[in-house]
Amino acid sequence: MITVLFFAGLREALGASSETLALPDGVTTVSALRDHLAARGDRWTALASARNLRAAVNQDMVPLTTAIKDGDEVAFFPPVTGG
What digits encode the pLDDT tens for the residues 42-76?
A: 999 988 887 889 999 999 999 999 999 999 999 99
Taking alpha carbons only, the member of 21, 35, 25 closest to residue 64 is: 35
Q: Quickly name the fold that domain 2-77 has.
A: Ubiquitin-like (UB roll) (3.10.20)
pLDDT of residue 59: 96
Q: What's the N-to-C CA distance of the chain in angstroms?
A: 38
Across all residues in the chain, what is the average pLDDT? 91
0.95 surpassed by pTM: no
Buried b (16+ CB within 10 A) or exposed e, 14-37: beeeeeeeebeeebebbbbbbebb
Q: Determine what percent of the chain is predicted with pLDDT higher than 90.
A: 70
Residue 83: pLDDT above 60? no
